[in-house]
Structure 1
């Protein structure tokens, strides 16, 4: 009996180690993409870091249920969207809780020690998703539904059906929000360009 228990314990330990290594290899490289999306939701770097951290912790806890070889990016984004929605629902009931348990399971791994949510976000503060300040500003000013549709399709390259699944909305709603969001972006950028081109004339008068 004792030998059987020890063997089972060893197998469980190996399974946990395998799961941890898979998570680091498959999920961790997507950290920057998750942060970009989190910032689009929160509009605040500290809150975005918290959202990504909570997302990664939830993903790690349930990673044993994830089928290797399937779309892990969509799986992680879906966890983040659900986490964001749940945060809104509980905001009025109690302060936001940042989950920290189980981080030790990952911290000792060299690949994880060399990469962190904070360092990723520090780089992305400078880079940001689209690169152009005017476009980023116009995108940030869109209503959330349109902003996220444009972000997921045009920035992150998700298919319409994937975005519908991520946001739990009909495919037609994704297309409608994307159409309106792109139109609003074009109008905003044309307006900014017009103002910039007319500025020298105003300065001369």
Structure 2
């Protein structure tokens, strides 16, 4: 990531080891914000908050889960601030391609696509399916993909383990339906 977290100040002992989680935090922030620049800002804010609260961190705390919880709370705070501000309407002045027209001259069906094009199609379908999930369900799925246990996810999102299990079950079922064409 292109930003420097502690350019002038000396980081607290042990705080620099939290940087190993920057990519994972960025991945979640990217899915939450849907914008690379906003995701970088959110990760930066997460580390700023973590640095301020470093002295309050208990000895045996799972630092990765702690950072993810800070990121989630920062995202929620930003979201609430943005909903209080009046939104400016942005107008798209570009022309849309006619329906069914391929913009790069390649085959319009997945069967005729090259492997890289196929990966992009599948990736965009997965991202579109993830976007249809609620924020809570998407967060639970992404944290699960990061390797967190259900109890760690519950700690990060601030709910009961049973709620996490339920969210994961419903989200997985929804993704299975939306991505059924890719199944065996």
Q: What TM-score does the superposition give when structure 1 sets the normalisation length?
A: 0.60
How far apart are the structure 1 equivalents of 2:77 and 2:165? 25
- Give deviations 1:101-159, integer Å, cap 9, x for gaps: xxxxxxxxxxxxxxxxxxxxxxxxxxxxxxx6143432233222211111111x11111
Structure showing the higher helix proportion among its residues: 1
In structure 2, relative to structure 1, the CA distance for the partners of 1:91 and 1:146 (3 Å cut) is same
- Asked whether 1:188 is paired with 2:171, we answer no
Q: 1:171 aligns with which of 137, 157, 161?
A: 161
Partner of 1:22: 14
Q: CA deviation at 1:81?
A: 1.2
CA distance in 2, matches of 1:87, 1:156: 23
Equivalent residue, structure 2, for 1:41? 32
Structure 2 unmatched ranges of 5 or more: 1-8, 87-121
CA-atom RMSD in angstroms: 2.3
Stretches of 4+ aligned residues off by more than 4 angstroms: 92-95
TM-score relative to the length of structure 2: 0.67
Structure 1 unaligned regions, length at least 5: 1-15, 96-131, 195-205
Which residue, out of 33, 40, 43, partners 1:52? 43
* 1:87 equivalenced with 2:111 (yes/no): no
Structure 1 residue 171, shift from structure 2 partner:
2.0
